[in-house]
Structure formats: structure tokens, C-alpha cells
């Protein structure tokens, strides 16, 4: 039996979701099946079109078309909890080799569900599934559980000069 590891991409720098998408592409090109679940996101990102181009790639969003500022709305919590159920099935089904939990750390930061629920999800997954978790503010308990943790550190970003998200680069 092969072992699936838990990877976390966190930190304030750009590139966490991009790294998870790159790993997904690599896995698909190696004949693996990928489930990519995006928590807190409901906006129209270019990567949503990947399902039209890539075999063995499933992508779902579990958020609204607005960012959460301060307190989440009831709809944010409802969508995240529905997503939690769906990724639980993806992790246990044996259908996927890689499961990405994009912005899981942000969902936890905003208390859309608990760290204990996330840890239970990881503990009860098919042990062969590779799990990728992204988002700023990774909880220490998740970091402890993970096999690999990469922190993206912002050194310089053109956003501070007024450059907005560009289609195909940041969105």
C-alpha cells in the first residue's frame, strides 16, 4: 500500500493556490485523479475552466462570490459545511489520488467549521490519498499533523503599487 501525505501551503505570500494547481497538473499528467475543493471561494477564477481541458480533474467551489470580511454570513457557514461533507466523501471514496482543500486554513480562521472537524477529516481519509491544504494562517494543530509545510513569504508584491488581479495570472 502506498502512503498519501498531507501537505500545507501557507503564509502571506502569493502562490499557495497556484502551487496546488501545479501539483494537480503534475498528478493528472502522471495518470492520477484529482479532486480540487475551494473553500470560501465562489468567484469566477480562470482555473474553473480546467475541468474542460484536463481529464481526471474535478473542481468544486464552496463559497459565495464575495470575500469574508470580519464575521462570516450564515450562507458562508452553510456552503463551507456542505463542502466539508463533499470533501469527506472524496477523501474516503478511493476515487481520487489527490484531494486539494484550497483555502481550508481560511475557512478555519473564520470558524466556518472547527479544527477538530478538519483533523477528523484527515484521520478518516483513505490513507493512500495525498492531501494538499492551502491558505494563510494555518492552525498549529494542522501544521503538526502535516508531513510537509511550505510557507510562502511575501517579499514584494505589485498589488501594493495598485496592480489589480490579472486574468490568467492571479484570477
Picking from 30, 5, 39, the residue whose alpha carbon sits closest to that of residue 146 is 5
Q: CATH number of the domain at 23-161, please?
A: 3.40.50.300
Dihedral angle, C-alpha 42, 19, 47, 116, nearest 10 °: -30
At how many degrees (to 10) do helices 115-123 and 74-92 cross?
10
Picking from 37, 35, 89, 88, the residue whose alpha carbon sits closest to that of residue 63 is 37
Environment class of residue 71 by beta-carbon count within 10 Å: exposed (0-12), middle (13-18) or buried (19+)? exposed
Mean pLDDT computed over 69-81? 89
Q: pTM of the full predicted structure?
A: 0.93
Domain boundaries, the chain: 23-161
157 has a pLDDT exceeding 90: no
Please give the mean pLDDT across all residues of the chain. Answer: 93
pLDDT above 70 coverage of the chain, percent: 98
> What pLDDT is recorded for position 1?
67
Phi and psi for 125 in degrees, rounded to 5?
Answer: -80, 165
DSSP secondary structure letter of residue 55? T
Amino acid at each position: 500500500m502506498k502512503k498519501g501525505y498531507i501537505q500545507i501551503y501557507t503564509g502571506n505570500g502569493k502562490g499557495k493556490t497556484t502551487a496546488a494547481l501545479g501539483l494537480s497538473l503534475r498528478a493528472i499528467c502522471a495518470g492520477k485523479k484529482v479532486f480540487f475543493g475551494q473553500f470560501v471561494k465562489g468567484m469566477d477564477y480562470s482555473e474553473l475552466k480546467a475541468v474542460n481541458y484536463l481529464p481526471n480533474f474535478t473542481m468544486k467551489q464552496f463559497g459565495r462570490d464575495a470575500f469574508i470580511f470580519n464575521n462570516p454570513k450564515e450562507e458562508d457557514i452553510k456552503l463551507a459545511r456542505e463542502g466539508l461533507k463533499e470533501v469527506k466523501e472524496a477523501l474516503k471514496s478511493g476515487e481520487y489520488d489527490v484531494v486539494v482543500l484550497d483555502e481550508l486554513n481560511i475557512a478555519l480562521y473564520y470558524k466556518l467549521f472547527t479544527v477538530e472537524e478538519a483533523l477528523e477529516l484527515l484521520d478518516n481519509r483513505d490513507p493512500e490519498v495525498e492531501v494538499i491544504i492551502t491558505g494563510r494562517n494555518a492552525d498549529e494543530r494542522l501544521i503538526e499533523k502535516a508531513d510537509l509545510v511550505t510557507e510562502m513569504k511575501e517579499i514584494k508584491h505589485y498589488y501594493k503599487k495598485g496592480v489589480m488581479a490579472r486574468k490568467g495570472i492571479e484570477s
